[in-house]
Amino acid sequence: MPSITRLTPPNFTITRENATNSDKELSEKQVLAIPHLVSAKSFGETAELVGVNRTTIYRWMDDPAFREEYDRQRDAAAGFARAGMRALMLKALSVQAERFDSDDPRERARAAKEIMDYDAKTAHKHESQKLLNRLHSVIYSTNNRVLDQPTINSELEQYLNSHERH
């Protein structure tokens, strides 16, 4: 059985060469604290590792430059995690496809059921996302005019009615 590819997370070490503008405004301890916070360490644990008081971490989180860099690194880590999950989903789909080729009809049936169960669990999420996208477009495609609630309700009702037929 092939092994699952291991993904290495990006390096969150900040040097003067890869520092953003906000990094240059941060102290050395602030720069050291961010990767610990991004990796889900507690404020207390991060404070201990960096050599500051826990309340200092709370104060730093209110600092716009610190928060900007924290958000940037957190978003980068989240993007890496999503990419890893997509890679694993492709492997899972490959395994399911192999199961469809099984000589055992029960194995083929289990594979089919798992795929249908997954689709049933996620289909409503896709529909909800479509509805949210439509709501967003209704609200923001009005050339800066404010829509009243009845207009929004009417637009959404039309959208929902048109999609019930499909």
**For residue 56, which of 33, 80, 23 has the smallest C-alpha distance?**
33
| pLDDT exceeds 60 at position 165 | no
**For residue 39, which of 29, 49, 27 has the smallest C-alpha distance?**
49
pLDDT at 7: 42
Q: What whole-number distance in Å separates Cα of residue 108 and Cα of residue 92? A: 15
Q: What is the pLDDT of residues 41-96, one digit of tens each?
A: 899 999 999 999 999 999 999 999 999 999 999 999 988 988 998 888 888 888 88
- Biggest CA–CA distance in the chain, Å, is 64
* Distance from chain centroid for Cα 46: 23
Fold annotation for 1-101? Arc Repressor Mutant, subunit A (1.10.10)
pLDDT at 1: 42
User: What ranges do the domains of the chain cover?
Assistant: 1-101, 105-166
The answer to whether the predicted template modeling score (pTM) of the entire model surpasses 0.75 is: no
Rounded (5°) CA angle 7-37-78: 40
Residue 59: what residue type?
R
